[in-house]
Structure 1
Amino acid sequence: MNTNLTVIREDSPDPADVPASGWAGAIVTVVTGKVMGEIIRSIFDGGTVADEVHIAIDGHARPLADVTVQTDDAQALRDLAAVAAFLANELAGPLGRGN
């Protein structure tokens, strides 16, 4: 029942240092079992910052926003829940821009 998470964090550049073309990259990646999630930060011209979450289950051809998860793999569902909860906490915390 225990789900171990592997977490990789990357610093994003200061918005003032971003070129006019902007910047986007993963600032947090979390993986467990067949599930991987990322917080993607985009910095636009003018310094506007936006964060979004992407989650995928290995074996699904599309992001979860586009699919219904149908599985009889209980551990995959636990892993999905763990990744989603972790990323929600990251977005709500000092790193993220959500609430």
Structure 2
Amino acid sequence: MLSLPLSQYFEYTTQKEIRFNSVTELCAEVQDGMTYIGMKHCPQDGAPRPPAIIWEFRDDGSIYHPHSNMCITTYRTEDGRADIQMRSCSPGDKQQRWSFE
């Protein structure tokens, strides 16, 4: 499960990837049937992009993953930690609002 400090640097690319730390070029992915977000090495430039790493940053601020048909959602774990998980997209859900600066 992806559980990183809030100070981590992510970028949304023109190839619709969410990349972590452009030096290491890791891409966020959701594998079939999973609700957690993993990280894998991004494809090289010009190589096909697998559906598991394609994301859509929507006008309402949600981040949609077409392959899983879910959105990135924040929640609190049982011990009170903030975390993220893939859940059904829900218009108006503040736990599914994100911004890139």
TM-score by length of 1: 0.24
Higher helix share: 1
Report the TM-score when normalising by structure 2. Answer: 0.24
